[in-house]
Structure 1
Amino acid sequence: MPALLTVDTISAGYGDSEILHDVSMEVHEGEIVSIIGPNGAGKSTLMKTVFGLLHPKKGSIRFGEHDISHHSPYRIVEVGMCYVPQVANVFTDLTVEENLEMGAFLLKGGDIGARKERIFELFPRLKERRRQRAGKMSGGERQMVAMGSALMLDPKLVLMDEPSAGLSPKMVEVIFERIAEINRQDGPAILMVEQNAQLSLQMAHRGYVLASGENRVEGTGKDLLNDPEVARLYLGG
């Protein structure tokens, strides 16, 4: 079965600085794929390149039938991919409900109300705070708002950059439970960059290890967790 997302030997970076060197990876429908690696490995750069915030200097990116290598983020959202960045991922002056409505900005003639209710079922805490401004919420609650907004268009693939960053251990557990639930409910595939490598690999179907902007290891989440070299270099084992 063809991959939903295919990243083929891309190199990318900022200006004359090349961060990624011939990186390749795939995501299939229904998968959770985790990208791990040390700080500065190029993980966030890879996510930004996939989503069109950066363009590859070489190589290609395909999403379904579309070559999106040089698409804008707007066009990439149109074909079914959404992105939850690590920071600045909500409109702080808008309420929870308004943030969700902003997430559905491409929807024409659909039932936004029904989609909001699905998000509220997934994140009951947001329903309780639907009229609260996002800027007055905790970090974990804002992360729920960002994830909910990304799901309003029923994407085929959601990119998540460090979803647990800055959260308390209890809230990290809640957020990862919700990520698993999103994926279980015939939901989108998920490509995730996460510093909590152990936790992300435990829930991932497959994973990739990046180091110095290059592919180092790939395999199932379980295989990477059980790989002594991966554990020694990247999991603190």
Structure 2
Amino acid sequence: MPLLNVNSITTGYADMEVLTDVSIAVNEGEIVSIIGPNGAGKSTLMKAVFGLLHPWQGSITLGDRDISRYSPFEIVAQRMCYVPQVANVFTTLSVEENLELGGFTLEKREIDAAKERVYELFPVLKERRRQKAGTMSGGQRQMVAMGSALMLNPVLLLLDEPSAGLSPKLVDMIFERIVTINATGVAVLMVEQNAQESLRMAHRGYVLANGENRFEGAAKSLLEDPEVGRLYLGG
């Protein structure tokens, strides 16, 4: 049984359908990358998985639990956390305060242990734990956002465009951290415009186009598929 199973969902905003009969799955311990052109519905899919939108048709399960109608709060309680593309840190709060808010359901001793786990993954955050998040570089803010999501020790981490707006050097650093997070046993579902790099680090991938499944398979196979390359990888 997949850890996450999105089964033939159709959804959108008000009366505007964005996703039509979309299916994806994430197995335990995987990195799964979702790629596709702008407007393909990638971020809408992530919002549906995290309960910010509900499927009009189809279902979403986490393990053996149907979460199709769950709120984000209920989903977090099932140990799935989400890092949106924008507005993903509290800019007026310090790094440490952001992390503590990320662990809002934990007791004090659990918060301290969770912070230490995050600091092991992102040593720069420990060095700058008193610094306000809004004064940090884009790459450091992204680390704060991911660290906050990791405070609750999720089984599945959702990342929406983690490399957006970052320099190539910082993109490499963030991708390296994602691989490190995954190596601790956290499954990752990632939407990413940097399609080639995201597929290189992923186990499997999905290509969305016009709100529908277009291609899916092992990430290496998608990278080597000439049609995927021509249409979506600039090859």
In the alignment, which residue of structure 2 is the partner of 1:11? 10
Q: In the alignment, what sits opposite 1:125?
A: 124
Report deviation, 1:34: 0.2
Amino acid at match of 1:191: L
- 1:113 counterpart letter in structure 2: D
Q: How many residues get paired?
A: 235
1:154 aligns with 2:156: no
Cα distance in 2 for residues equivalent to 1:148 and 1:109: 17
The TM-score normalised by the length of structure 2 is 0.99
Q: Where do 1:11-50 residues align within 5 Å? A: 11-50=10-49
Distance in 2 between residues matched to 1:216 and 1:111, nearest whole Å? 43
Distance 1:121 1:11, change over 3 A: same
Answer with 107-116 or 154-163: which moved more. Answer: 107-116
Corresponding position of 1:183: 182
Deviations 1:119-178 (A, max 9, x none): 111111111110000011111100000000000000000000000000011000000000
Aligned equivalent of 1:197: 195
Structure 1 segments of 4+ aligned residues over 6 angstroms from their partners: none
Q: TM-score, normalised by structure 1?
A: 0.98
**C-alpha displacement of 1:111:** 2.1
In structure 2, the residue matched to 1:215 is 213
Q: For residue 174 of structure 1, give the secondary structure of its aligned residue in structure 2.
A: helix
- CA RMSD in angstroms comes to 0.8
Deviations 1:67-104 (A, max 9, x none): 11010000000011000000000011110000000000
% of aligned pairs identical? 71
The residue type equivalent to 1:216 in the other structure is: R
User: Corresponding residue for 1:64?
Assistant: 63
Q: Which residue of 1 aligns with 2:97?
A: 98
Q: Structure 2 counterpart of 1:77, which letter?
A: V
- For 2:40, what is the secondary structure of its paired residue? coil
Q: 1:29 offset after TM fit, Å? A: 0.4
